Structure 1
Amino acid sequence: MSKLSFAAIAFVVAFSGVASAQSGNQHGACKADYDKFCAGVAPVGGKVIACLEAKHDKLSATCKAVLDSRKK
């Protein structure tokens, strides 16, 4: 399996909790932010979400909305 395929699968798994509650457009809402701020973070134990939360003020508005909706 190529590194790109593994990364894509890891990203989907990391956001599966968010994705299951969101529409198709929101499913990929944080991909660019993940690539920019958290690409080296292993998708285990909520580490990706924690990384994105730590960068909350720098995230896109769409990604912020998805993360904020998880808190409700």
Structure 2
Amino acid sequence: MRLSLSLPLIALCAFAASAQAFAGNQIPDEVKEKCKADYSRLCSGVMPGGGRILACFQAHKDEVSPDCRDALSRVKN
């Protein structure tokens, strides 16, 4: 019984985390704006925090849009 109640809660938390993926302060506003579609397409399964989203963009650097790539190039690591 406990497991059957936990699964929907875990799914809800994962959805909320992905919806707020750019809510963290470590990602500049310009990147949030210009990389939103790229995030949805390439990195939506990545848990926010610890630089994981920026690492995902780096792993997919040849696939991100030119605007996103430009914004990311200005992020200081």
Count of aligned residue pairs for this structure pair:
65
State the one-letter code of the partner of 1:40: G
Once residues 50 and 60 of structure 2 are traced to their aligned partners in structure 1, the CA distance between those partners, rounded to angstroms, is: 18
Match of 1:41 among 42, 46, 51: 46
Q: Larger Cα Rg: Structure 1 or Structure 2?
A: 2
Q: Structure 2 length as normaliser, TM-score?
A: 0.67
SS in structure 2 at match of 1:33: helix
State the one-letter code of the partner of 2:20: I
* CA displacement at 1:16 relative to structure 2: 4.5
- Bigger helix share: 1
Q: Structure 1 length as normaliser, TM-score?
A: 0.71
Match of 1:63 among 45, 60, 68: 68
Once residues 32 and 65 of structure 1 are traced to their aligned partners in structure 2, the CA distance between those partners, rounded to angstroms, is: 14
In the TM superposition, structure 1's runs of 4+ consecutive aligned residues that sit over 4 Å from their partners are none
Q: 1:12 — aligned with what?
A: 23
Once residues 51 and 27 of structure 1 are traced to their aligned partners in structure 2, the CA distance between those partners, rounded to angstroms, is: 14
User: What percentage of aligned pairs have identical amino acids?
Assistant: 34
* CA displacement at 1:71 relative to structure 2: 4.0
* CA displacement at 1:31 relative to structure 2: 0.6
Pairwise CA RMSD: 2.5
